[in-house]
Amino acid sequence: MTREQGLNVIEKLFIYENPYIYKRVKFFFIAPDGTYVSYLDDSPEEVKQHLLSFMETDQGKAEIRIDVNSHISAQDIYMRSQLVWRNRRNVRFEPRFKIDDRSNEPKGWRNLTFISRVLCFEDSLASYQQKTAIEKEQFITDVLEVIHETFSLHGESRRLYSQALRLLIGPKDFFGRPWNPTNDEFYNIFSTSMNDVLDARNEQPAQIPDMYAIGIKANAFRLDKSYPGKYLLIGNMQTAFRKWFDALDKKEYKYSDFPMPADIENLFATSDDKHSESSILDAYKKVRSERSGY
């Protein structure tokens, strides 16, 4: 590994920032009276009370939704970066599997990962008004725990960044070998793990419309990492759309609200890149017939 490659590693793991994510990872919120209140205030009970009041407003729900989604995304990035750095001598290490395997943790939106975690949080937020006073307080406690966890991960990344800089000016590279004036295959294999981290960073916080979130939860399609804003169908086109339409119907969407071919023509990608309007329309008609008796 050359020192230039070492600097590239540092920039990718600890410096690169997706502005869409990081500009939302803030440690304060706007209280109902217009003042700024820190999530990390020294008076946690006072912060909880501010948040409880804030959540009774539409503005409060909207801001908390964006903030928590962004914190979840930022945590995913921090954890992947830190895992890659700590396991840098294991060049075939797969950070995505390590991050996603949290089977021993209690289930809940705080403990799942990325898209699943975001969708669980969205569900919890959507039912906020129906929660009891105790449940609302627990929801606020969960929000504050997420923000504090991000702050902790941020601090750890700063520490590892300093460690990497010290190694960069030392006699040995990040793998414990003397710095090499030429490129080597070892670095090229390691860079694959870094690219996995960068791929995760390019996934914006999932600001997914409810209609499409339902399709993901119904296992009809998923986000396409290669083309932000597009979805990949899971399985046969007509089957996937029928599954989605059926899920929308069960969520009490009206048929007049269902998306028609013209509405979704540019939102979906398939392996053969074909979007048969007749297949979509057939799926729509079959669901309408089976669910409503038409």
pLDDT above 60 for 113? no
Look-up: residue for tokens 């209280």? 31
> What is the signed CA dihedral for 116, 117, 118, 120, rounded to 10 degrees?
90
List the single range of 23-32, 269-278, 281-290 with lowest mean pLDDT.
269-278
- Distant-in-sequence, close-in-space partners of 76: CB < 8 Å, separation ≥ 6: 99, 113, 114, 200
pLDDT digits (tens, 9 = 90+) for 76-112: 888 888 888 888 877 666 665 555 555 545 455 555 5
- Return the pLDDT at 108: 56
> pLDDT, tens digit, for every residue of 40-86?
877 888 888 888 988 888 878 878 887 888 888 788 888 888 888 88
Question: Would you say 148 and 154 are in contact if contact means Cβ atoms under 8 Å apart?
Answer: no
**pLDDT at residue 136 tops 90:** yes
Q: Which two tokens stand for residue 240?
A: 């996937």
Give me the residue spans of the domains in the chain: 3-201, 210-292
Specify the pLDDT at position 277: 60
**pLDDT computed for residue 159 by the predictor:** 92
Q: What's the whole-number mean pLDDT along residues 239-258?
A: 80
Check: CB of residue 238 under 8 Å from CB of residue 246.
Answer: no
pLDDT in the model for residue 16: 64
User: What is the pLDDT, as a whole number, of residue 208?
Assistant: 56
pTM of the model: 0.62
> In angstroms, how far is CA 40 from the centroid of its own chain?
22
Give how far Cα 102 sits from Cα of 96, 106, 109, Å. Answer: 11, 9, 12
pLDDT digits (tens, 9 = 90+) for 225-238: 666 667 888 877 77
